[in-house]
Amino acid sequence: MKHLELLAPARNADIGIAAIDCGADAVYIAGPDFGARKDAGNSIEEIARLCAYAHKFGCRIFVTFNILLREGEMDEVHRQMLAAQEAGADAFIIRDPRIAQWEDIRVPLHASTQCSIRTVGRARLFAQAGCSRLVLERELPLSTVREIAAAVDCEIECFIHGALCVCYSGQCTMSEAISGIERSADRGACIQACRGLYDLVDGEGRMLVRNKALLSLRDLNLSERLADLVAAGVTSFKIEGRLKNASFVRNTVREYSLRLDGFVERSGGEYARASFGKVEGGFEPDLSKTFNRGFTELYIDGRRGKWASLDAPKSMGERLGAVSRVRPVAGGIEITVPGASNLRNGDGFAFVLEGEIVGFRGDVCEGNRIICKPVRGLKAGVELWRNISVDFEKSLEANPCRRFVGVGLAVAATGSSISVSATAEDGRIATVSLEGCDAARDLERAATLISGQLSKHAEHYSFGVTALDSSDGLPHLSAAALNGLRRELASQLDAQAVHAIPMATSAGGHTVAPEALSTGRRPGELMRSKYCIRYELGICPVHQQDSRQGLSRDAERPAALRGVRPSDSLCLVNNGRRFPLLFDCKACEMAVLEGA
């Protein structure tokens, strides 16, 4: 049987616990320092608290040490890793393979996506360095994922949802080029330059595109492609979002957990989840109702598409439709959106105005009408989106998920005694018994009471009687006595370590090949990407030309882009800074170059 893992992000321990309650099999989180999200650090005490909760369900906690490390930091990195290991961390996500040389680091090492693993050769380097799991580049097609998975004896982890860096992971210096070395993405302090607004000009300075988020990609959503990824060799499915709030994490984890459960059920026993416990209660997840920039499946099929969110580099939520009327009313304005429904007072709305997202709250919402204070630039014809749903947020808060480990109870009884054997779904066993009881006169009533009182929750366990042997009679027991038996079983199970599903292991003491330390970044390039501005704008000379005439489809372009030729140089401009673009058509890649 193969085990599949849903891996959730956590800014802090509380969000990590919420992710586990919603169905995550594992959580990744930063320790005090050295994580690729500088604003998401956590103390070792918080790591220990999260580990203790996760391990009740056989869930795992991965701590990130995935920035470029400096020589003077290695001792402190080592100290923090040992402390996190002692606190219960199940693996470390690393970027610097020199960590694998430390023999006292005993937990598995996972090569971060910042290691830029997108070829078999690169994958083998990190496998040889001692990494038991490889987190692959986001922009890979399924064919390459399959090739890498077949070439190495490592677990394969892929991102399935969340924000996308426009460039190949671990190969971007755009942030520090704009804001200085202290805002380096390699050090966890990215300014998200790819979400900024840029002009596009040609070599003669002619304005082609003004004030657009030309490097901002939509968010990844592979919710329909889990089966394809499993077939390619992926066993860990990763959600991006260590800076996201609890609503995003809970909603996204619940959606993907339900989808993985469905896949496992349809597999006929070939696959199982990588942790234990059943989620009870909760809300109906909806990926459109928490942070997103619109969705894309990116390059999973090896085909290009329109991947960018040029007008909306921030979350827009769900599209409502075009505004048909805006009229003044007492104290504000009334907006009519014919396609809207289920609007609620306090909902948040957004639209794009001259390259910027304008947001506002609806004070009174009825049917398809919104009454609010005056909003700059809002008029008939504007496309309106709802980025905060009051109903959905209330549902998240009012219907929390709870997770319980299933425990089957086999009851053997006589008229004077009862013995209860418990078997948890992970294989732990406990037994309790009572002697010297009075015999029950009404056997049917006694059986109903025993089954009913024992088949309840206690702590994080869900008990259920699976067998009741009453051939020699039944004892007369109070509800309080039966509840005490159930609590004692829970206590005995808690005293035993959960029989967690084994992970691929790695050990310290490896020799690291020098080329594994290289980022692969090319001189003069700030970033390199599978994304291409020329393709996004419809002016790609390879994929978007008229095959009959060998000419670009000029008439189909916006007026400002007509006449652009493959030989024309293009440049991004931001706050007076110019960044030339390199189009490597042979590799079908684009690079942003150092500018002035």
> Which of 543, 574, 540, 564 lies closest to 213 in space, CA to CA?
574
Torsion of Cα atoms, 73 then 79 then 83 then 84, to 10°: 30
What is the 3-state secondary structure of 455-490?
CCEECCEEEEEEEEEEEECCECCCHHHHHHHHHHHH
* Cβ proximity of 304 and 47 under 8 Å: no
On whether the CB atoms of residues 293 and 218 are closer than 8 A, the answer is yes
How far from 426 is each of 21, 51, 57, 79, 486, CA to CA, in Å?
17, 18, 9, 33, 18
- Tokens 């209330």 belong to 394
Return the pLDDT at 62: 98
Q: Which helix (H) or strand (E) is 49 found in, with range?
A: helix 44-54
DSSP E strands in 354-438: the ranges are 356-361, 364-366, 369-372, 383-388, 401-414, 418-424, 429-434
**346: buried, middle or exposed (CB in 10 Å: 19+, 13-18, 0-12)?**
middle
Could you tell me the CA-to-CA distances from 592 to 484, 532, 571, 582 in Å, in that order?
67, 10, 9, 6
pTM for this entry: 0.94
Q: List per-residue pLDDT tens for the chain, 596 residues long.
A: 999 999 999 999 999 999 999 999 999 999 998 887 877 789 999 999 999 999 999 999 999 999 888 889 999 999 999 999 999 999 999 999 889 999 999 999 999 999 999 999 999 999 999 999 999 999 999 999 999 999 999 999 999 999 999 999 888 888 888 887 777 777 878 888 999 999 999 988 899 999 999 999 999 999 999 999 999 999 999 999 988 999 999 999 999 999 999 999 999 999 999 999 999 999 999 999 999 999 999 999 999 999 998 887 888 888 999 999 999 999 899 999 998 988 999 999 999 988 788 999 999 999 999 999 999 999 999 999 999 999 999 999 999 999 999 999 999 999 999 999 999 999 999 999 999 999 999 999 999 999 999 999 999 999 999 999 999 999 999 999 999 999 999 999 999 999 999 999 876 678 788 788 777 788 899 999 999 999 999 889 888 765 434 444 666 677 778 778 777 899 999 988 999 999 999 999 999 999 76
469: β partners: 412
- Measured CA to CA, the distance from residue 125 to residue 131 in angstroms comes to 9
Query: 145: which residues sit within 8 A by CB, 6+ positions away?
Result: 136, 156, 158, 229, 232, 233, 234
